[in-house]
Amino acid sequence: MTLRELSQLYWLKSEIKMYEERLMRLRACMGVGSPNYDGMPKAQNNESTTERQAVRLADLERTLKSLRDKALEEEARLTCYIATIPDAYLRIIFTHRFVHGLTWWQVAAEMGGETTADSVRKACVRYIERGTKSE
C-alpha cells in the first residue's frame, strides 16, 4: 500500500467536514427572507426559494451520507492492512497517523520517550518502501 492510499481516509474526513460546514450554512439560511407580496408577476419558474433550498439540502445530505459510508469502508480497509503489519510499534504509528489522522509530531508524542516526529515518519516510510519493493 502506498502513502497516498494510506492517506485517503484523512482526505475523506476533510471532505466530510467541508460538506458538513456547507450543510450547516445552508440550514442556517433556510427560511430566511420574506414572502413577496408586491403583486408583481413572477418569472416562469414556479419554484420558490424554499423549495430550491430544500432540494439543495437533500442533495448535500445524500452526498454527505455517501462520503461517510466511503470513510467507514476506508477505515475498515486500513484497519485490516495495519493488522497485517508484524511489528506492534509500527502498527501503533500507522493507526495514530492514518486512522486517527494525527500529525507526525502528535504521533511522536503519543509514542513517548525520545521519539521524534522525524523518526516515526521515517519508520513508516521505510516500512512502506519495503512493502512496495517486495510486491
Average pLDDT of the residues in 87-104:
96
Whether domain 86-135 has CATH 1.10.10: yes
Q: What is the longest distance spanned by two Cα atoms in the chain?
A: 75
pLDDT tens digits, residue range 35-83? 555 666 665 666 667 788 888 899 999 999 999 999 999 999 999 999 9
What integer pLDDT is reported at residue 4 of this predicted model?
Answer: 93
Judge contact between 117 and 103, C-beta under 8 A: yes
Average pLDDT of the residues in 84-96:
96
| Higher per-residue pLDDT: 132 or 79 | 79
Return d(Cα 16, Cα 9) in angstroms, integer: 10
Label residue 55 exposed, middle or buried (CB < 10 Å: 0-12, 13-18, 19+).
Answer: exposed
Q: For the CA atoms of the chain, what is the radius of gyration?
A: 23
Q: What's the pTM?
A: 0.75
For every residue of 94-108, DSSP letters joined together read HIIIIIS---HHHHH
Question: Could you tell me the three cell numbers for 114?
Answer: 525520545
